[in-house]
Structure 1
Amino acid sequence: MATGKIHYEIHIKPAKGKWKMAGVMQSRDAAIRHARELSGGGVAVQVTKETHQPNEGNYLSVCIFREGMTNNWSRDPNAGKVDLVEALPCFQPGDLYSFESRQTIARLLRDSLARWRITPLELLHHPGHLERLESTGTVLQAAVQKVAIAQSQAGEGSVAERVKTLHKLISDAMKIVFVDHGKNKLPTFDENDFTALTEKLDGHPRSEYLLNAAIAHELEQCESWDRKLSTVLQWITELPASETAKRQALTSIDGFVAEIMSASSAVKDILGQQESLGDAITLLVRLFSGQLADGNNLGAGVLALNRYLATDRLPQSKMAIAGRILTELESNQRLAPNSIEDELVVTKKIGAQITLASNNFLPQEQVLDAFRERTKRFLVPETLEQILAGAENPAQRVGKLIMLSEHLVGNANRRQLAKILTGMVTEHALNSYFTSDATPVSERLRQLTALQEKVLQSEIDGAAKREATERFDYLCTSIMTSHDLLEKMIRSQPNAHDKALALLKLAASDMLTRGKARETAQRQALSYLREPGVLTEYLGGNGNQAEGRKKELSILLQQAGIDPHTVLGQSVAA
């Protein structure tokens, strides 16, 4: 057997035979080339990469090339279970470097990339990172399997065909990097500074690939995500004079920063440990707007990014942070874990902050969609019960429910709340509470008036709003009638104008609901004011005294919901 830490084994399998080893080589390319020569005529071939593990005294075997099999290669028991993966069309190695492909790589290899603290761009441009991926056993194979199934379901051939094609595509892409590395074609900043290298690569057909390879090599030395940000962003001050070279340099810088800010693990590391998701999103929104304040133990990298985001100079990074904000909003995690009351307050506060920050990078409709889904959870029975749990009586429960409408986004959510409210205001419990004498009459009347005002000021659906206000008015009127409220007030006053003033003050107070309750008091007051001589006597006296009383009465009429001109205009004429 060949010696060394890594070697490559070629295996063949005749159509009706078993697998057997056909050779061992030190060179990856030579092993794959030889395997291709052996394939055909019903013979299947595969090349495995064997990595020696000194601590365990054995080899880790990973298949890096397959050809000739017509049935499904996979023996993965989870082969039929597919995560959400776009069936991206990849026809040549360069397709793996596209934005869409890198997004797919980020999702498929999320855990591995987070553990290695690298981005898809770093992975694709660094031979060491590719070597590590290739040596991870089932990680790469599982990712290929998921994409193959998604592509097959999209009508792009069988799973086995897609697995074979994808393995070849990945193998060819890796080969390019390995060959360039072996021939010292991958530049580094050890030989040139950023400005010199970007100028040197200006006009080169592979300038983007080569510059990204140099950046990936440089970032390998960074011990943290923030340090990576700081390293990449410092090059903005070293941009070349040539417009084409400057544009390419900024595109690469922006691309690396965007991928860092797209990764959940990176963002958590950069922003530091926050007490809640709400605090983390608040920092992200400020960063998105370029309004992140110094302090909070934030690193130099994120503070530098904050300065550049204020100028919209890094559009990819701006979009990445916007995506991160939306992703966090759409998560199931609470914004404020300590209490549901805090959750309501923080949700509304963050909603206002994001609305102000919304622009082309963070479209308002996407923000609204995220908040529709998040606030929809407030109406889940278990959560709703937590919101109402602190109420001491049925009236307070209704009040809390009405208050909840302020925190809901979307007509569908408000309609759902309206249904719940309609059921609650007609419940026996609410009727019993307001008809019971356990609570003073004045307090019950004030509660009903306050509830009605809350409903009228809310954005609750029209029919439900009308039904609730009418129900509160009915209860208020019932209390007035059962306790002879108006009759007792009238009997307590000595004359007609005092009776009228007392009724007007009651109608203007916070004790009568809009509707029949207030209208009854208004009619009674007007009937006394329109009795012969009542207004003339009340408004009599010298000019100043009469004018003062007239002004006071005008204000009181307005407060009671009566147009002063319908009363005072007629009286003056008389």
Structure 2
Amino acid sequence: MVFTPREDIEVAKAAVCEEPADLFTADARDVITRACSAYLGPRKLTALELLYHPRHQADLTNSGTSAMQAVQKTASWQVRGMSVPVSERIRRLWEIVDKARLDMAAQVDALAPEPLTPQNATSLLTRPPEEDVAAFAFRTLASLAAGLAEKKTWKDKIDTVLTVGAAAADGPALACIDMLLAELIRPADALAETVGAFETAGDGIGLLLPLIDATAKPTDAPPKVPLAVQFYKLLARAPMPETRTALAAHVVRQVTGPDKMTNRSLADEIGFVVELRERLMVDGGLIGGETTQEALERRLARSLSDQTIDMLMQGTQCAGDRVMRALTLHRKVFGEAAQGYLEQYVVELMGQPQVESKLMPEGLSVRKQIKALGALHRSLKASTITGRARDRMANQVEQAQAALLDKTRLLEKLNDGSGSAAERLMRVVDLCREGAFTDGRNADRARAAAQQLMKRPDFLDSYLDGASQKGERASRLRDLQRKLAEARIV
């Protein structure tokens, strides 16, 4: 299930009602919820309760301007971008609403639905063979609305629906429970009554996602929230698509909201947002679609700026460390703004005067300096930074390593250094195997030095020293051949 949020106008245009029956569709109920929010919210009412209870309809009609404002709002949404006068659409909507109200009052009066309660839920939610599914749905929703009529809080209403929902055994009954429960948990305060409040937006998302993808178990329910266990049990045993869609809408609300995802460090916050995008992928699509993608990109863009970058670089000892950390982030983050800022940061770091002398921390051995420059070069070459800038910076590192090799004469000293020829060779072989030398002239230079060592007359004897048995000598030679191949020396 991939949920995509819609604007008021978009929903209204999908629910252009022409007959009273059209008011009962999912899109029309969504429009009613939005257009009547100022009336429904304070009274803890849902669109379904309004549609299936004549008293609620009469109260809205007699409430003053609330009904008029809702109709005007809906009409203005539906004619936006059209040549139809809003007054004409208002007139037509009133005709439809008035007829629906009269028809509903007559149907409910003729049916006289028994209010659905935990005591009669089993019998009322059982469909007799002679009752078709449409008639059963009407009777059930009217009974649900009647059963909730005197409930004044979201908690009481949700508690009632969850309790009677436990008695719903088949698809039609569960569909009715699903429709009403989805509308009941739409407000943020109603959701908090159901699964609890969240300390951070990330906590809320982490709790809701398993409910959405049907992996949550009743034992996962927050223990201190009275309604949570019932809610988890119902979602564990039934599809409940509308309820899961309502939960997905809450996830998008958390993602697009202003609250931080975590109460942890800035680096952890960025890491959470990056990982969250993968967690929000359901059925091949992103929950919330482009709305979610854009919100996540904005979060990353806000997290990366001149004011925050120093916080992310805490613990680094040199320019090379900072470049490496920025490149790691650049590979992980998404969005042009976040990636662009990190690219600019790396380019500016590498553009500092005499940056080559700042690429490594002080006090490193020559061997460790070589390895550090090789790792930085590999990271630059593998980065997704713009090609020309990437190649220019990689070339800077290659030149810095070449200058270090010239200054220290590390490779030239191999022929007359301490230790056996075999020991000196393996120092170079191990560096080559680890990718310590930058690809190109520096790596070629190291391999050439290794080959020179292998030509020394004392090399083979020093390498096989201590291996008296023929099998042991053969094993050592095979091991040498493998390492030389890995180092690309032979």
Shorter-chain TM-score category? 0.7 to 0.9
How far apart are the structure 2 equivalents of 1:205 and 1:508? Answer: 73
Structure 2 residue matching 1:493: 3-state secondary structure:
coil
Within the candidate set 318, 323, 330, 1:398 is matched to 323
Number of the residue aligned with 2:444: 519
CA contact 2:280–2:286 (8 Å) conserved in 1: no
Cα distance change, pair 203–367 in 1 and its aligned pair in 2 (3 A) = closer
State the 1:313 CA deviation.
3.1
Within the candidate set 264, 287, 306, 2:211 is matched to 287
Within the candidate set 245, 251, 254, 2:175 is matched to 251
Letter in 2 for 1:194: A
The reply to whether residue 339 of structure 1 matches residue 268 of structure 2 is no
Within the candidate set 150, 153, 163, 1:234 is matched to 163
State the 1:283 CA deviation.
0.8
State the 1:437 CA deviation.
8.3
Number of the residue aligned with 1:100: 27
How far apart are the structure 2 equivalents of 1:255 and 1:437? Answer: 63
How far apart are the structure 2 equivalents of 1:402 and 1:215? Answer: 58
Mapping of residues 520-535 of structure 1, within 5 Å: 520-531=445-456, 534-535=459-460
1:151-198 residue CA offsets vs partner (Å, 9 max, x unmatched):
222426101212222233333333444566677845424799334445
How far apart are the structure 2 equivalents of 1:423 and 1:367? Answer: 34
Number of the residue aligned with 2:223: 297
Pairwise CA RMSD: 4.0
Structure 1 residue matching 2:12: 3-state secondary structure:
coil
TM-score scaled by length of structure 1: 0.68
Structure 2 residue matching 1:86: 3-state secondary structure:
helix
How far apart are the structure 2 equivalents of 1:523 and 1:467? Answer: 26
CA contact 1:281–1:328 (8 Å) conserved in 2: yes
CA contact 1:93–1:173 (8 Å) conserved in 2: yes
Number of the residue aligned with 1:408: 333
Higher strand share: 1
Cα distance change, pair 368–504 in 1 and its aligned pair in 2 (3 A) = farther
CA contact 1:406–1:458 (8 Å) conserved in 2: yes
Which stretch shifts more, 274-283 or 428-437?
Answer: 428-437
Number of the residue aligned with 2:73: 146
State the 1:536 CA deviation.
5.5
CA contact 1:434–1:475 (8 Å) conserved in 2: no
CA contact 1:405–1:417 (8 Å) conserved in 2: no
The reply to whether residue 275 of structure 1 matches residue 199 of structure 2 is yes
TM-score scaled by length of structure 2: 0.78
Within the candidate set 105, 109, 122, 2:36 is matched to 109
Cα distance change, pair 251–507 in 1 and its aligned pair in 2 (3 A) = closer
Letter in 1 for 2:355: N
Number of the residue aligned with 2:298: 377
CA contact 2:200–2:261 (8 Å) conserved in 1: yes
The reply to whether residue 451 of structure 1 matches residue 376 of structure 2 is yes
Structure 2 residue matching 1:380: 3-state secondary structure:
helix
The reply to whether residue 320 of structure 1 matches residue 246 of structure 2 is yes
How far apart are the structure 2 equivalents of 1:530 and 1:472? Answer: 31
State the 1:100 CA deviation.
0.6
State the 1:137 CA deviation.
4.5
Cα distance change, pair 178–378 in 1 and its aligned pair in 2 (3 A) = closer
How far apart are the structure 1 equivalents of 2:69 and 2:400? Answer: 66
1:274-332 residue CA offsets vs partner (Å, 9 max, x unmatched):
11011111111122224143453354543233233334432332333334334433445
State the 1:403 CA deviation.
2.3
Letter in 2 for 1:281: I
How far apart are the structure 1 equivalents of 2:351 and 2:66? Answer: 58
Cα distance change, pair 140–522 in 1 and its aligned pair in 2 (3 A) = farther
How far apart are the structure 2 equivalents of 1:191 and 1:538? Answer: 86
1:222-262 residue CA offsets vs partner (Å, 9 max, x unmatched):
4554543442243345448xxxxx54322211211222344
CA contact 1:371–1:409 (8 Å) conserved in 2: no
Letter in 2 for 1:216: A
Cα distance change, pair 462–367 in 1 and its aligned pair in 2 (3 A) = farther
Letter in 2 for 1:322: A
How far apart are the structure 2 equivalents of 1:531 and 1:397? Answer: 42
RCO higher in structure (CA 8 A, sep ≥6): 2
The reply to whether residue 389 of structure 1 matches residue 318 of structure 2 is no
Unaligned 5+ segments in structure 1 are: 1-81, 241-245, 567-574
How far apart are the structure 1 equivalents of 2:289 and 2:256? Answer: 11
CA contact 1:277–1:336 (8 Å) conserved in 2: yes
Number of the residue aligned with 1:557: 484
The reply to whether residue 428 of structure 1 matches residue 352 of structure 2 is yes
CA contact 1:330–1:374 (8 Å) conserved in 2: yes
CA contact 2:370–2:437 (8 Å) conserved in 1: yes
Which one has a bigger Cα radius of gyration? 1
Which stretch shifts more, 419-428 or 119-128?
Answer: 419-428
Number of the residue aligned with 2:5: none
Letter in 2 for 1:501: M
How far apart are the structure 2 equivalents of 1:324 and 1:525? Answer: 63
CA contact 1:405–1:459 (8 Å) conserved in 2: yes
How far apart are the structure 1 equivalents of 2:420 and 2:133? Answer: 102
1:371-401 residue CA offsets vs partner (Å, 9 max, x unmatched):
6434423552663442553314433332332
1:329-371 residue CA offsets vs partner (Å, 9 max, x unmatched):
344543225532232233345445444xx33xxx435577566
State the 1:521 CA deviation.
1.6
How far apart are the structure 1 equivalents of 2:123 and 2:417? Answer: 97
CA contact 1:474–1:516 (8 Å) conserved in 2: no
Number of the residue aligned with 1:308: 234
**Matched pairs, number:** 471
State the 1:101 CA deviation.
0.8
CA contact 2:12–2:74 (8 Å) conserved in 1: yes
Structure 2 residue matching 1:297: 3-state secondary structure:
coil
State the 1:470 CA deviation.
4.6
How far apart are the structure 1 equivalents of 2:421 and 2:396? Answer: 32
Letter in 2 for 1:507: C
Mapping of residues 115-134 of structure 1, within 5 Å: 115-134=42-61
CA contact 1:151–1:157 (8 Å) conserved in 2: no
Number of the residue aligned with 2:405: 480
Structure 2 residue matching 1:389: 3-state secondary structure:
helix
Cα distance change, pair 231–440 in 1 and its aligned pair in 2 (3 A) = same
Cα distance change, pair 523–141 in 1 and its aligned pair in 2 (3 A) = farther
How far apart are the structure 2 equivalents of 1:484 and 1:332? Answer: 57
Number of the residue aligned with 2:85: 158
